[in-house]
A and B are shown apart, each in its own frame.
Chain A
Amino acid sequence: MSDLLLSVEQVEVVYHDVVTAVQGVNLTARAGQIVCLLGSNGAGKTTTLRAISGFIGLDHARVTGGRIVFAGEDIANAAPHICARAGIALVAERDKVFEQLSVRENLEIGMVAGKTGSQAAGGDRLDLKGIYRFFPELERLTGRQAGFLSGGERQMLAIGSALLTSPRLLLIDELSLGLAPVVVERLAAALTDIRDALGITILLVEQNANIALSIADYGFVMENGRIVLDGDAGRLLAHGDIQEFYLGQGAAAGERRSYRAVKQYARKRRWYG
């Protein structure tokens, strides 16, 4: 693969000056890669994602250590619009579309923002047609008010608007949240298409390790605000701990699915088993 686009180095995030949510996270994404960030609830995945996109300031959190280098520039604690203009687009977990506007208007807002942003690496500027190519469903719904869309359609619309800002890095928080498995598969396939066609980098935060690792090139696993495991997606998918504690296969499944528990379990097995 080609050069390093994003590099998060020893990043530490503190909420309200008091609560440390992320402590010393290291994470890299190369241009054109799909990278996924896994971990249980409260591990710090979303905080990491919001630190990269500059949104933690809104939640009274600040980066207190380390560096977030995007395309050669340190963007730690930069304002969200600065990050967006530098070429980082975020598809948030909730409240991701303008419910009062139509599908078309939602997409056009992305285009307005895209004019000030950097161009997608290589290729022409995207237009509405380009988005409809990835998500034909949206073309059919073009005049509909976004508040009336289903969850899956909203996710497509949110990804579409984000793409129209011509990002070099697309951050997606919980792609599969509240969506039917068949829709998630459809979205995952679309993400692969988007990466192949536009050459952008995608950082995916997911609970569903199976779907995330099946489309990703590389994966990171977070636990308690730290990266505890990383590797090529194929290797991770085959990793015993991942299989046991994130995919729910194996003897200890259903017991405790936290990585800390994974390690304790592994140690016990070594000592007593």
Chain B
Amino acid sequence: MARASGYLKTGYGQQLVLVETRMQWMLLALLAAALLALPLFASFFLLDLAGQIFLAVIGAVALMLLTGIAGQVSLGHAGLLAAGALVTGILTQEAGAPFWITLPAATIAGALLGLLFGLPSLRLKGLYLGISTLALHFIVVFLGQEYETIRGFSTGISVHPPRIFGCELYDPAAWYYVLLAFDVVVVLFALNLLRSRTGRAWRAVHERDVVAEALGVSVFRAKLSAFVISSALTALAGAVFSYYRGFVSVEAFSLFVTIQYVAMVIIGGLGSILGAILGAIFVTMFPYAIEAALETTGLAAALAGYVFAINYALFGLVMLAFLLFEPDGLAGIWRRLRDYFFLWPFRKTPLAGGE
């Protein structure tokens, strides 16, 4: 893939552009065309899978901003998704609110929760911070369960499909385009954030907060803004998820969901938006891939009772393998592949290690 050389840049603006070369524009255009044309050929199942991936991308990008870029560990991700979904569910049920009220409301609720649960980050780091954000998860899930029991929605709160220009959003292909548009906006937002003052502050705080503070970056503001923006995006993803599924139930937001999102950013490669996207695709498709593999090998019938166990176990193994062998994740693999073709045939091979 053709990349712009650092030596040929003549201005600060050229350092900042997101798409550098004509080749990259062409590849992006190809990707866009493929994504736009997909619903013309895809089955219902594929469209649903794509929808799940698009939803996961929003959440993964949000977590990547917080954990991969700003370096703040969070285990409250499922709680925030649940908060967004619950706000949507409650507002539709209690007030019959349309989506243009529920989505901003869910976003604001997420931002407020992020502000509240970002406060410990000012004193805590690493594992300690992770544990403190875990509280968020349990509080939200508990409140959601209480609401569901009191109001008698123990099987879940149903959410009507959103009405846009008088027609209900129901068709899978229509949903596909809506979610795709959401993703494009979120990814562009994240990429632009990263090249802004805030994004630079986050990365500085991640790497050396003391130096950042010495240079005048407000660590207080950087950490809290990371929590607020990430949480708002996550809650938004939760709200969209509730519309997509048509109902809300806190059961859907177990701790395993948090683990899945953490896995997405780690497997994708911490610190890169591309990594968040690749990780979301990988983790979402993983169970389906395992299922397909079992089908094709003819083991499906024999192992029918163990599919979930196999899924969980393999998921754990894959995550472990990434941590051990590819700490830079899928984004790292992509970077290495790109460099390989970029340098070919001039790449130097390391000597075999002498023992």
Contact = CB atoms under 8 A, between A and B. Distances in A.
B122 to A, nearest CB: 24
Secondary structure type dominating chain B contacts: loop
A73 B355 CA distance: 9
A62 B350 contact: yes
B348 A14 contact: yes
Nearest to A77: B353
Interface in A65-92: 65, 68, 73-79, 82
A17 B339 contact: yes
B351 A18 contact: no
Contacts of A28: none
Given A17-B343, A18-B339, A18-B343, A65 B354 contact: no
A173 interface: no
Contact of B351 (A16, A17, A62, A73): A62
A73 B354 CA distance: 8
Contacts of A14: 348, 350
Given A14-B350, A65-B351, A78-B354, 8 more contacts: A17-B340, A17-B343, A63-B351, A74-B354, A75-B354, A76-B351, A76-B353, A77-B352
18 contacts: A14-B348, A14-B350, A16-B339, A17-B336, A17-B340, A17-B347, A17-B348, A18-B339, A18-B343, A62-B350, A62-B351, A63-B351, A68-B354, A73-B354, A76-B351, A76-B353, A77-B350, A79-B353
B10 interface: no
A223 interface: no
A79 B347 CA distance: 23
A17 B332 CA distance: 13
A74 B340 CA distance: 28
A65 B355 contact: no
A78 B353 contact: yes
A40 interface: no
A192 interface: no
Interface residues of B, number: 13
B48 to A, nearest CB: 40
A3 B343 CA distance: 41
Contacts of B351: 62-65, 76-77
Interface in A167-210: none
B233 to A, nearest CB: 32
Interface in A15-42: 16-18, 20
Interface string B323-342: 00000000000001001100
A78 to B, nearest CB: 5
Most buried by A among B350, B352, B354: B354
The 3 residue pairs across chains A and B that have the minimum distance between CB atoms? A62-B350, A64-B348, A77-B353
Contacts of A20: 348
B297 interface: no
Given A64-B349, A65-B348, A78 B355 contact: yes
A82 B353 CA distance: 10
A12 interface: yes
A9 to B, nearest CB: 12
Most buried by A among B340, B347, B355: B355
Contacts of A77: 350-354
Contacts of B349: 64
Contacts of A62: 350-351
A120 B167 CA distance: 84
A12 B349 CA distance: 11
A64 B351 CA distance: 5
A82 B349 CA distance: 21
Contacts of B347: 17
